[in-house]
Amino acid sequence: MDYRRLLEPPALTRRRIWLAYTVAISTDLLQLALGPFGFAFADEALDLIAMAVISWAIGFHVILLPTFALEFLPFADYLPTWTAAVAFLVGFRKRRGYFAEGEAPPR
C-alpha cells in the first residue's frame, strides 16, 4: 500500500468545502456556548471530531495541529480557531488548484 496517498489532499468540491466550514463553525459555536463547562473534556472531544472530519473533508494539513493544541489553553475556546484554520486551508488549496474536474473554485 502506498501510504503517501493518505497524505495527499482530496480533490475539493463545493460539498467538501461546505462540510468543512459547517463543522468548523458548529464546533466554534458549541465551544463558545459551553463556556466554563468545557472543562469536562467536552471541548477536547469536539476538537477531535472536528479535526477528523475536517481532515477527511479537505485533507490534513499541519495548520490543523496548532488549532487543535491551542484549544487546550484557557479561554482559547472563545476564538474561532477552527473557522480560521478552514478558511486558511481552503484558500491555500485554492491557490494550489486542488479542485475536482468540472468544479470551479469558489470566488
Looking from the CA of 2 toward its CB, the CA atoms found within 13 Å total 4
Query: pLDDT by residue (tens digit) across 52-86?
Result: 999 999 988 888 888 877 877 777 767 889 999 99
User: What pTM, to 2 d.p., does this model score?
Assistant: 0.82
Query: What string of H, E and C letters represents the secondary structure of the chain?
Result: CCCHHHHCCCCECHHHHHHHHHHHHHHHHHHHHHHHHHHCCHHHHHHHHHHHHHHHHHCCCCCHHHHHHHCCCCCHHHCCHHHHHHHHHHHHHHHHCCECCCCCCCC
Query: pLDDT category, 22, cuts 50, 70, 90?
Result: very high
Q: Which single residue is written with the C-alpha cell 459555536?
A: 29
The pLDDT tens digits for 81-106 are: 999 999 999 998 888 877 766 665 55
